[in-house]
Structure 1
């Protein structure tokens, strides 16, 4: 019996989805045991497997080799994402490889807030479009530092700074 390789996507589906601490829960696992539907236990190689503890799982096919599964990750429906391979420190024995979306690890909320304190000048009268323009440029700078941050997270941080500036005017 030849070993088969299965791709399973793991996605956080609980509250506060844009929180940096949840970003790193998202991953693609290449496993040697067939994925099963959580509710019924039946084998499923394509589609939604169910969710438990704020984490949803999706099956993305069956492959004849590890390299075929890795190639599918890079060229299939997921090809528009950039991946980084994770060290396999705390995964079960049947998980052979783990890929995280994004080329770079996410910047923590604390680090982002600290970095923004020194990097930006947000004023009380900045419009939403001003913040959107700035967010795009700042995301690029964060990547230059070796980290990633989602557009939503960057925007909410900038809105927070603008609200703080507005409160400062009211005092």
Structure 2
């Protein structure tokens, strides 16, 4: 049962270390709704807004105190301009008191390693078809758009230029002039 005086807090955690585009860190950044007030790393004092400090390449920022969980979640949606997704699997394992978790972006990002495997698998299972031999820019654009649609349908997204580069690499394509 909820304590009548319980407050909710929004804390942002952002990866600042190397290897941002690897599978481990590409979707690291998050906004947590917690019942534990955020504390400054330097002296442990409660801090309701601003930079809390950085530990182990994770910068933390406080974004306010709220009367309800709903109000705190709404604040996150307002900060991210509705461009976020709720992601609550494993919340309890993150920090004590975390009751909700949001990640920036409408779609989950995908690392280069995972994208390469994804494209290879989709070709092997014939979910996408890639012309053999030389390929024109128009053909490549069509394949790139088909891959991006599949990714979005499955809850992920990758910019078209990364899909194109990965397709060329995975399929060892040679371009012809249109």
TM-score > 0.5 by shorter chain: yes
Q: 2:36, 2:96 within 8 Å by CA — same for their partners in 1?
A: no
| Corresponding position of 1:8 | 11
Runs of 4+ residues over 6 Å off in structure 1: 122-127, 130-134
Q: Which runs of 5+ in 1 are unaligned?
A: none
| Corresponding position of 1:143 | 152
Matches of 2:62 and 2:140, distance apart in 1 = 37
**Partner-residue secondary structure (3-state), 1:90:** helix
Counterpart of 1:35 (choices 33, 38, 47) is 38
Q: 2:8, 2:69 within 8 Å by CA — same for their partners in 1?
A: yes
Q: Which runs of 5+ in 2 are unaligned?
A: none
Matches of 1:19 and 1:136, distance apart in 2 = 23
Would the alpha carbon gap of residues 23 and 3 (structure 1) be closer, same or farther in structure 2, given more than 3 Å must change?
Answer: same
| Corresponding position of 2:50 | 47
Would the alpha carbon gap of residues 69 and 31 (structure 1) be closer, same or farther in structure 2, given more than 3 Å must change?
Answer: same
**Partner-residue secondary structure (3-state), 2:79:** coil
Q: Deviations over 1:10-35 (max 9, x none)?
A: 11111121223212322111111211
Q: Kindly indicate whether residue 64 of structure 2 is the aligned counterpart of residue 56 of structure 1.
A: no
How many residues align structurally?
161
Matches of 2:136 and 2:24, distance apart in 1 = 28
Structure 1 residue 115 displacement after superposition? 2.6
Tell me how large the CA RMSD over aligned residues is: 3.3
Matches of 1:71 and 1:104, distance apart in 2 = 19
